[in-house]
Structure 1
């Protein structure tokens, strides 16, 4: 990364006082479904009924990268690769630790991970009308992806089959990571 890029703070760059984010250690993966379950309770409070589905440890082990914050982890980001782009499958922060910049720190680390590996963009799917979903990502520079690739389209079909669209309108967003992307 050149000096100009390092000194430029994009909206997804965490604050200097944000939490330490690191790759998950293998023994920590088993703790993350409980973080996800607690974080999902926030959706119920917002009137969004999520279908019962938890990420299991095998899915986390198969991910391209799992980032965590806290010891033990109180938040995590799971990254995969779809259509040649980094794909942010999930960001979850335990509700007892929200509004402290942890989600922003996890997002910033996910962007840095994807950039360092040369991915042209970071994609994700999220709820359009939940304040800490699409509106939050848009404040961090993400925009609607008009023409998702075949793997991302299959991801959306899987979300429909899992009942996520019944919980609220879903959108596909992306963040270009390199000039011309």
Structure 2
């Protein structure tokens, strides 16, 4: 697997991955999540130009064929952390550690546009928000080193993200913010 910032030509495939990755939510009675529109090409282009999108690619075949994205991750700087805005893997490629590889790679990405690291010169924490009762969400993230943040530990940026999610109706199902510290190795 190859992980890199995708080319502009690959951005439509990321939207297709997002749509396919949303379908399993339908079986959990979360049709509105399954039907949620993926980021627009304009939004994905902004992430791509800022270097804040990673895509996982299949290894190319012997003749170079078959190289296409199978998963992706969007991130943004939030309160000195690398905040995972979205991580999606095509269901046809599930259970192959692609999501984890993307998340592990994001741990090594400086969170600030200036590409500065944390105060100690090394990686900074990862944060994300997720559904707590969806097996491939919070329980999965807990297995790869994330912990649920109690309300008292939410930063102003995470509070704003959670408020926005609530306004979108995502709090119809239990949600939480999670954090993974640098140095977690599993």
Structure 1: 5+ residue stretches without partners: 1-18
Aligned to 1:173: 178
Q: Does 1:82 align with 2:78?
A: yes
Partners of 1:113 and 1:153 lie apart in 2 by 23
Alpha carbons 1:114, 1:122 under 8 Å: kept: no
Partners of 2:7 and 2:116 lie apart in 1 by 20
> What displacement does 1:178 show?
6.0
Alpha carbons 1:86, 1:114 under 8 Å: kept: yes
SS at match of 2:54: strand
Alpha carbons 2:73, 2:85 under 8 Å: kept: yes
TM-score where L is the length of structure 1:
0.80
Q: After the TM superposition, which segments of 4 or more aligned residues of structure 1 sit over 3 Å from their partners? A: 114-117
> What displacement does 1:136 show?
0.7
TM-score where L is the length of structure 2:
0.78
> What displacement does 1:43 show?
1.2
Aligned to 2:41: 57
Q: Name the structure, 1 or 2, with higher relative contact order (CA <8 Å, separation 6+).
A: 1
- Offset from partner CA, 1:119-166 (integer Å, 9 cap, x none): 431110000011111011111111122322222111111111112112
Partners of 2:40 and 2:156 lie apart in 1 by 24
Aligned to 1:101: 97
- Bigger shift: 121-130 or 151-160? 151-160
SS at match of 1:136: helix
Instruction: Give the direction of change, closer, same or farther, for the CA distance of 1:178–1:140 in structure 2 (3 Å limit).
Output: closer
> What displacement does 1:61 show?
2.6
Alpha carbons 1:24, 1:67 under 8 Å: kept: yes
Partners of 1:128 and 1:20 lie apart in 2 by 30
- Offset from partner CA, 1:63-122 (integer Å, 9 cap, x none): 351111123211101111111211001110111111112111111111122488524311
Alpha carbons 2:19, 2:37 under 8 Å: kept: no
Instruction: Give the direction of change, closer, same or farther, for the CA distance of 1:135–1:79 in structure 2 (3 Å limit).
Output: same
